[in-house]
Structure 1
Amino acid sequence: MSAWDDLLQLASPARKTFLSGLNLPEKIQWNVLSRILGDNAQTTFGLQHGFASIQSVDAFRHQVPVAQYEDLRADIIAMTKGEKNVLTREEPLAYDLTSGSTGAAKIIPYTASGLENVRVALMVWLADILETYPQIAHGRFYWALSPAAREMQQLPGGALLGPVQDSVFFGEEAVTALSALSVVPPELALESDIETWRTETLCHLLAAGDLTFISIWSPTFLTALLEHFVQEPEAVIQALHDGISGCRANPYRARTIQSMMETTGLDTTVIWPHLAAISTWADAGAKRFVPDLANLFPHAAIQGKGLMSTEALTSIPISAAQYPVLATASAFFEFLDDDGNSWLAHEVVPGCKYRVIITTSGGLFRYDTTDIVRIHAPMERTPTLEFIGRAGEVSDMCGEKLSGQSVIEALEPLSCFAFLAPLVKQFPHYALVMDADMVDAAQAAK
């Protein structure tokens, strides 16, 4: 049995369970909430908010207010110092930092049950993409891990403070298979020198003629990596020829790529002819960069990722749905409309926008993610959703209250990178900055 077979065997039951529950979002969500409340009823937070007495969603809403991170910061800090039963009965296994779009860095706890919820959702996605693109199983993959910007820290309570690598979320059973199939050694993500990381990553990638699948976060991650190679190919080709840090010498491959660069320039169909699919962010601010990625890889399908943050995994891309499907078993979800009314998964209306509120096994209770989503047609009775931006990203030079979400939507028709720059000289205004070679003034004026 191959490593891909092992992964599919691990992942298929999760996909089967998820698909069988698409008609039962209300039941699944109540089961998730009931379990979280029961598990944490005797914690300090659970006792303060009467978790043990909550028998309905309405009671939960009444007894537990919507929380911003600052409402939980003191409790989370206490947990990092070793205080027990503060937010969760489980002791967190690790913590990670997220800076968010505004404010100070946030420390997010990861419990075993919280990680298991994420693992199951990722298994649903993995099984689905393997079923949709079976040719993936005929080669290896690249799961992009950014170079470590900071080291793991031991907290006073004994747990580790991030960065938590993506492989952790898949669980121990899957990690062995994933490591065997990765064209880039996972430990390379621990390389803190960016030049070394870039050269070695490119060397491993260029050596992998059997690459069939790529998973990245931002599409610009991959386009920028390859643009660096186009601008300075010599060092990478030399490393491929001679071998470097775990990447075996491959003179023939190096000469082939050198010849390609001298004749046609970068051609991904020549380097990776078997590449079947690329998984990447494709919503909100990332959407405008997807066409560049598609042009660079004309032979590969581009699959948008679901909504996943440090705090929670909200949606899962499923091939049968146009938009990612709500991950009903990973957390309890509420959706706030513009009037502050809370709606549940089975109550949201296609076409409407909502702010996502989560309750997780990691101790985030009615936590405001600030994520804004647009609801689309359900898959059976479970909503599909599109991430369109974050609340709270507002520019207000002179009362205009210009939101980041509205700017993204306004600039979306432009076929190039563009942004608004606030200017205050003479009078407060914004300048639209874009590539004049790709967009004419008439198109921009619209």
Structure 2
Amino acid sequence: MGFRSVLSKPFAAYIAAQTRKWAKDPVGSQERILQQLISTARDTTFGNDHGFAEIRNHDHFKSAVPVRDYEELKPYVAQILDGDQDVLWPGKPTYFAKTSGTTSGTKYIPITKESLPNHINSARNALLSYVHETGNSAFLDGKLIFLSGSPELDMRAGIHTGRLSGIVNHHVPGYLRTNQLPSFETNCIDDWETKLDRIIDETIDERMTLISGIPPWVQMYFDRIEKRTGKKIKDVFRDFSLFVYGGVNFEPYRAKLFESIGKSVDSIETYPASEGFIAYQDSQHEEGLLLLLNSGIFFEFIPADRFFEDNPPRLTIGEVETNVNYAVIINSNAGLWGYNLGDTIKFVSTDPYRVIVSGRIKHFISAFGEHVIGEEVEKAMRESLTRHPEAEIVEFTVAPNVTPTDGRMPHHQWLIEFSKMPSDLDAFIEDLDHALRRLNSYYDDLLSGNILKVLEIVPLRRSAFIDYMKDQGKLGGQNKVPRLSNDRKIAGELIKYRKND
């Protein structure tokens, strides 16, 4: 055994002991974090605006700090971008994680020196938790690949700015960097297909033991290797034993991914976000991900079915129940306050607190990590209809096509009932795709990197949506087909109403 695998075991035992300690006192851990956050930020612009000096408990905090999305936080971020200090958190952020917005365009999520360990240590602890539970540490002596965005960073107001995965790449621990792949130079390549070929060149003859990345990107990596070698991944990387993933729902990819590998390997699911590392899988035997209650984030939970009320309840960790959908609200040492993460979770255990990610508070598509929301597809459609005034639609919905049966690349499939068809459907598709790319930078990145191909339009016959709802027993009332969904349950039924002529 190598020195990494040997030394990891006592370190893993130490981290496990620390985790058990705070997990046994979840309410106390969260109360201490809330008090620390308020005390530290009381003299910031945000703290002064919201009376932090007068806050003594969570009830005071709820009265003083409303739930916000990025658009409502944006004026404070704008002050930081103008060069101000002590705005959301003392000093200036160390980084801005640049991510796709909705009405806000590009979002700049602050990462401070205090919040950075949440991202770095949580990823590390996910691996150490696995080592402690299983005793398997040999993977640390092999080569590790982290498929991520470019680590190249820009500067905004004197603050390093880039994708979260690129920022984190700069903080891989030294004891892992020497066996990390791909090289920094390869990671900086923008075009995904070119980058992927270079990654394969660098890894194909190495002893790869851990592979980490968003499932569709990893699948493309596996497909290219199989095409080049004619072998399953298990025969190319004989010591590959651990797959780490996060960012999208894994289920649509599971069967094909493990078929490509050709054997069973252990896996670790993580729940990272630009706003914070929320949870990770701490057990190969228990359901759910361990919610990180001692990592600089104070959590609040709003029952998803009450989220859009004028004054919904904001629950603390001690007030939640299992098997209830909650919207996740975070307050953190990155300077995020009452921040609606947009995700919904369910608790599957309260001893310790483990969660599963159940979806988004609104309908969305993120089968490939693009986070496309209803507002974006509706705006793209409106813009396209303006450019093609002869076209008229009755209804439409959008779904991902992860594994097209005709062998084409994955794409978004738009099922549209036109009352009047565009005179040039190809031009309409092009305009619609360009509009969505402009509205959503993640979607644009996926097309630029050849992860997705241009969207497909499937024209549906007249009365398709009405007939579908009738067949589902949902015609009338307030029932309607969602604008978009992250699976093919609806699309799989609606496509039966395809227009024949």
Fold agreement, TM-score > 0.5 = yes
Question: Hey, what does 2:209 align to over in structure 1?
Answer: 212
Q: In the TM superposition, what is the alpha-carbon distance from 1:384 to its structure 2 partner?
A: 1.2
The answer on 1:296 being equivalent to 2:260 is: yes
The answer on 1:68 being equivalent to 2:88 is: no
- For residues 146-157 of structure 1, the aligned pairs below 5 Å read 146-147=149-150, 151-156=152-157
SS of residue paired to 1:363: coil
The answer on 1:333 being equivalent to 2:299 is: yes
- For residues 253-402 of structure 1, the aligned pairs below 5 Å read 261=229, 265-281=230-246, 284=249, 286-319=250-283, 320-330=285-295, 331-337=297-303, 338-339=305-306, 340-378=312-350, 380=351, 382-393=352-363
Q: In the TM superposition, what is the alpha-carbon distance from 1:388 to its structure 2 partner?
A: 2.1
Question: Hey, what does 2:148 align to over in structure 1?
Answer: 145
Maintained 8 Å contact 1:10/1:123: no
Q: In the TM superposition, what is the alpha-carbon distance from 1:272 to its structure 2 partner?
A: 1.1
Q: In the TM superposition, what is the alpha-carbon distance from 1:116 to its structure 2 partner?
A: 1.7
Maintained 8 Å contact 1:304/1:317: yes
Relative to structure 1, the CA distance from residue 182 to residue 377 in structure 2 (aligned partners, 3 Å threshold; closer, same or farther) is: same
Q: In the TM superposition, what is the alpha-carbon distance from 1:424 to its structure 2 partner?
A: 2.8
- For residues 8-157 of structure 1, the aligned pairs below 5 Å read 12-100=13-101, 103-131=104-132, 132=134, 133-147=136-150, 151-156=152-157
Q: In the TM superposition, what is the alpha-carbon distance from 1:188 to its structure 2 partner?
A: 2.0
Relative to structure 1, the CA distance from residue 167 to residue 301 in structure 2 (aligned partners, 3 Å threshold; closer, same or farther) is: farther
Question: Within 1, Cα distance between the matches of 2:193 and 2:247?
Answer: 27
SS of residue paired to 2:337: coil
Maintained 8 Å contact 1:281/1:287: no
Amino acid at match of 1:367: Y
Unaligned runs of 5+ in 1: 234-260
Relative to structure 1, the CA distance from residue 41 to residue 86 in structure 2 (aligned partners, 3 Å threshold; closer, same or farther) is: same
Q: In the TM superposition, what is the alpha-carbon distance from 1:30 to its structure 2 partner?
A: 0.9
Question: Hey, what does 2:161 align to over in structure 1?
Answer: 161
Relative to structure 1, the CA distance from residue 420 to residue 178 in structure 2 (aligned partners, 3 Å threshold; closer, same or farther) is: same
Residues 47-74 of structure 1: per-residue CA shift (max 9 Å, x gap): 1111122111111111110111111112
Maintained 8 Å contact 2:246/2:272: no
Maintained 8 Å contact 1:307/1:315: yes
Relative to structure 1, the CA distance from residue 196 to residue 399 in structure 2 (aligned partners, 3 Å threshold; closer, same or farther) is: closer
Unaligned runs of 5+ in 2: 307-311, 364-372, 379-392, 420-461, 469-483
- For residues 161-180 of structure 1, the aligned pairs below 5 Å read 161-165=161-165, 168=168, 171=171, 175-180=173-178
Question: Within 2, Cα distance between the matches of 1:400 and 1:345?
Answer: 41
Deviates further, 101-110 or 267-276: 101-110
Question: Within 1, Cα distance between the matches of 2:277 and 2:9?
Answer: 21
Identity level (%): 20
* Superposed CA RMSD: 3.6
Q: In the TM superposition, what is the alpha-carbon distance from 1:124 to its structure 2 partner?
A: 2.0
Relative to structure 1, the CA distance from residue 28 to residue 143 in structure 2 (aligned partners, 3 Å threshold; closer, same or farther) is: same
Q: In the TM superposition, what is the alpha-carbon distance from 1:88 to its structure 2 partner?
A: 0.7
Amino acid at match of 1:299: K
SS of residue paired to 1:313: strand
Pick one of 194, 197, 200 that aligns with 2:195.
Answer: 197
Q: In the TM superposition, what is the alpha-carbon distance from 1:369 to its structure 2 partner?
A: 0.7
Residues 113-133 of structure 1: per-residue CA shift (max 9 Å, x gap): 000223332232121122323
Question: Within 1, Cα distance between the matches of 2:27 and 2:44?
Answer: 26
Deviates further, 182-191 or 47-56: 182-191
Question: Within 2, Cα distance between the matches of 1:121 and 1:214?
Answer: 17
Relative to structure 1, the CA distance from residue 401 to residue 196 in structure 2 (aligned partners, 3 Å threshold; closer, same or farther) is: closer
If the length of structure 2 is used for normalisation, what is the TM-score? Answer: 0.70
Question: Hey, what does 1:251 align to over in structure 2?
Answer: none
Residues 163-192 of structure 1: per-residue CA shift (max 9 Å, x gap): 344573785xx5211211214224421122
Q: In the TM superposition, what is the alpha-carbon distance from 1:421 to its structure 2 partner?
A: 2.8
Question: Within 2, Cα distance between the matches of 1:302 and 1:399?
Answer: 47
Relative to structure 1, the CA distance from residue 135 to residue 39 in structure 2 (aligned partners, 3 Å threshold; closer, same or farther) is: same
Maintained 8 Å contact 1:348/1:383: no
Maintained 8 Å contact 1:92/1:112: yes
The answer on 1:425 being equivalent to 2:395 is: no
What is the number of equivalent residue pairs in this alignment? 392
Question: Hey, what does 2:388 align to over in structure 1?
Answer: none
Question: Within 2, Cα distance between the matches of 1:123 and 1:228?
Answer: 29
Question: Hey, what does 1:238 align to over in structure 2?
Answer: none
Maintained 8 Å contact 1:314/1:326: yes
Maintained 8 Å contact 1:7/1:177: no
Residues 392-431 of structure 1: per-residue CA shift (max 9 Å, x gap): 33659899998x9xx89xx9xxxx9897633131457569
Question: Within 2, Cα distance between the matches of 1:84 and 1:440?
Answer: 52
Question: Hey, what does 2:221 align to over in structure 1?
Answer: 225
If the length of structure 1 is used for normalisation, what is the TM-score? Answer: 0.78
SS of residue paired to 2:130: helix
Amino acid at match of 2:178: A
Maintained 8 Å contact 2:9/2:137: no
Relative to structure 1, the CA distance from residue 334 to residue 440 in structure 2 (aligned partners, 3 Å threshold; closer, same or farther) is: closer
Choose between structure 1 and 2 for higher RCO, CA contacts under 8 A separated by at least 6 residues: 1
SS of residue paired to 2:347: strand
Question: Within 1, Cα distance between the matches of 2:320 and 2:54?
Answer: 27
Q: In the TM superposition, what is the alpha-carbon distance from 1:225 to its structure 2 partner?
A: 2.0
